[in-house]
Chain A
Amino acid sequence: QAHKEEDNPQKTMEANGLTPVPDSYDYDLIVIGGGSGGLAAAKEAAKYEKKVMVLDFVTPTPQGSSWGLGGTCVNVGCIPKKLMHQAALLGQALQDSRKFGWQFTEEVKHNWMTMTESVQNYIGSLNWGYRVALRDTKVTYENAYGEFVGPNTIKATNKKGIEKLYTAERFIIATGERPRYLGIPGDKEYCISSDDLFSLPYCPGKTLVVGASYVALECAGFLAGLGLDVTVMVRSILLRGFDQDMANKIGEYMQEHGVSFIREFVPIKVEQVEEGTPGILKVTAKSTTGDQVIEGQYNTVLLAIGRDPCTRKIGLDKVGVNINEKTGKIPVNDEEQTNVPHIYAVGDILQGKLELTPVAIQAGRLLVQRLYAGTTTKCDYVNVPTTVFTPLEYGACGYSEETAVEKFGEENIEVYHSHFWPLEWTVPSRDNNKCYAKIICNIQDNERVIGFHVLGPNAGEVTQGFAAAIKCGLTKEQLDSTIGIHPVCAEV
């Protein structure tokens, strides 16, 4: 073990529990976690000429998967997900194209390896890009696991087990989350998670997706779109926390387009029938409403039942940072400050905040600006738009119908809604009654639009602009008086 050896009176004081004098730290800021939030904060701090270090380390999955700098979004989240979703959409487009006059005699097949290699290559260029950006802005980056060992001291352990100590005046915890496992026999040995899926070196084949989160549905959606036999096993409802009217429409659409659903069952055992890449797995599941037990065989079992914050093994107890013991999330005030004044947190690990890349980036940047540039702007977590990239995409901003009813009372809200048929779907005879949009208005406040929901192609692109309008206080009247662009989905 190599320790940073210095005759450092401050370190000696620290080791004895005394607070060292400021301005004698190794760094102004140490960021633990090189994901969306961490990197945004680090790069911002470097702009103000602060001495910054980023520690990023990926503990390999049970299957051995790992990845480079950039965090979940870049490596095993948003980026590969959207690219594979696009791959599936292109498959659909190829089918549609015949109706538009394109003639090809070959049958169209999908090659998993070709897609995965291209996606991973792009991700590799992003990893490299971040490393260049950090080095260029003089941010020190170490591929090492950071944990607190003292109020201002971090121990960083690299993959060879070499430990180093670093001190800083302030810290930002941005360690993110990792997929949860079921805790049943065979789960870690045989199942994969989203951490493994996007770099899987073989086609997953017939897949069982366990879970009803957006991760589960998005993955099930694109796997089915690529031509694979996909089943989704759901314990209770789809997309908990999202507007349930929309969630059910998403499920229905997926069901009508080749995804099987097994509802109200949970797996209790996963066994290997045959080894291989992929092999054959046998899943035993029990009903949540009775004693029924079922079995099924799949090439791959993908667990997408939730994500847990990486906050339990980073020494937070040593420095007195409170975490929610049950969930692992870190409660912060509206300035992202933990209960320990010089320790902050951003991103997915925050309690009560949205788990989205742009939220983490915005929070990280504004936090650093408040710390070093004297601004007072806080992150606005209200009316954050999101999109779920299921085969039929769902964009939303603001309240779900249920939450609006709960908060304002059913008699005080008005919901305007409409199905629509995208022009591009007419010629290839695609569904004419599936795309759907609704807005929820607060009658008592000038019919202000407090919820926006759209189910249809390019939902993300459609929703972004409306989010800005909602931030400006859009009312139904203003919406009505805005002339539509024709022929596009957004004009609905």
Chain B
Amino acid sequence: MGWEETQVRGYSEFVRTAQSYHGRPIFALFCGDKDAEGRSWCPDCVTAEPVVRKELHNLPDESVFIYCLVGDRAYWKDPNNEFRKNLKLTGVPTLLKYGTPQKLVEEECFKAELVRMLFTED
């Protein structure tokens, strides 16, 4: 079977979902919330999302892509939010391979080459 995508919102939902896929390679893209028109408050996330989506076909078989909305701008700016505290995220967008130190942060997510490397190499 190829790869599959699931969308979550907020920290608890993210953790529950990641745990439910334990055993499979999990990649996650963290972005700022989107408004009613579907635009995120985070301009870099707006730039990164299409780049990442274009590379999704490179995901290894059996892997899971979790698209996670972290919250509104105020929540994100709080230095004690759960994503910062527990997942050690430092910025949005962050694209990472769950359970490994492999991640791309902010402008790194704009680079198709790097996204592809994250998805395809050990």
Interface residues, chain A, with chain B CB atoms under 8 Å away: 121-122, 124-125, 127-128, 131-132, 135-136
Contact = CB atoms under 8 A, between A and B. Distances in A.
Contact of B114 (A121, A124, A125, A132): A132
Given A132-B108, A135-B114, 12 more contacts: A121-B101, A124-B101, A128-B100, A128-B101, A128-B103, A131-B121, A132-B104, A132-B117, A135-B113, A135-B117, A136-B113, A136-B114
A124 B111 contact: no
Nearest to B121: A131
A131 B101 CA distance: 12
A131 B100 CA distance: 14
B17 interface: no
Contacts of A136: 108, 111, 113-114
A125 B104 contact: no
B51 to A, nearest CB: 14
A252 to B, nearest CB: 40
Contacts of B12: none
Contacts of A122: 101
B6 interface: no
Nearest 9 A-B pairs (CB), nearest first?
A: A125-B101, A124-B101, A128-B102, A128-B101, A135-B117, A135-B113, A121-B101, A135-B114, A132-B114
A59 B83 CA distance: 38
Interface string B80-121: 000000000000000000001111100010010110010001
23 contacts: A121-B101, A122-B101, A124-B100, A124-B101, A124-B102, A125-B101, A127-B101, A128-B100, A128-B101, A128-B102, A128-B103, A131-B117, A131-B121, A132-B104, A132-B108, A132-B114, A132-B117, A135-B113, A135-B114, A135-B117, A136-B108, A136-B111, A136-B114
Contacts of B101: 121-122, 124-125, 127-128
Contacts of A125: 101
A17 to B, nearest CB: 37
Interface of B: 100-104, 108, 111, 113-114, 117, 121
Nearest to A129: B101
Which of B100, B102, B104, B121 lies at the interface centre, i.e. has the most chain A CB atoms within 10 A of its CB?
Answer: B102
Which of A125, A127, A135 lies at the interface centre, i.e. has the most chain B CB atoms within 10 A of its CB?
Answer: A135
A125 B96 CA distance: 12
B6 to A, nearest CB: 25
B48 to A, nearest CB: 15
B27 to A, nearest CB: 14
Contacts of B103: 128
A121 B101 CA distance: 6
Nearest to A128: B102
A247 to B, nearest CB: 38
A132 B104 CA distance: 9
Contacts of B117: 131-132, 135
A146 B114 CA distance: 24
Contacts of B121: 131
A172 B43 CA distance: 43
A128 B95 CA distance: 13
Contacts of A132: 104, 108, 114, 117
B113 to A, nearest CB: 6
Nearest to B104: A132
Nearest to A138: B113
Which of A121, A125, A132 lies at the interface centre, i.e. has the most chain B CB atoms within 10 A of its CB?
Answer: A132
A199 to B, nearest CB: 14
Nearest to A126: B101
Which of B100, B101, B111 lies at the interface centre, i.e. has the most chain A CB atoms within 10 A of its CB?
Answer: B101
A132 B100 CA distance: 15
Nearest to A123: B101
Contacts of B113: 135-136
B17 to A, nearest CB: 22
Nearest to A124: B101
Nearest to B117: A135
B100 to A, nearest CB: 7
B26 to A, nearest CB: 16
A202 B102 CA distance: 25
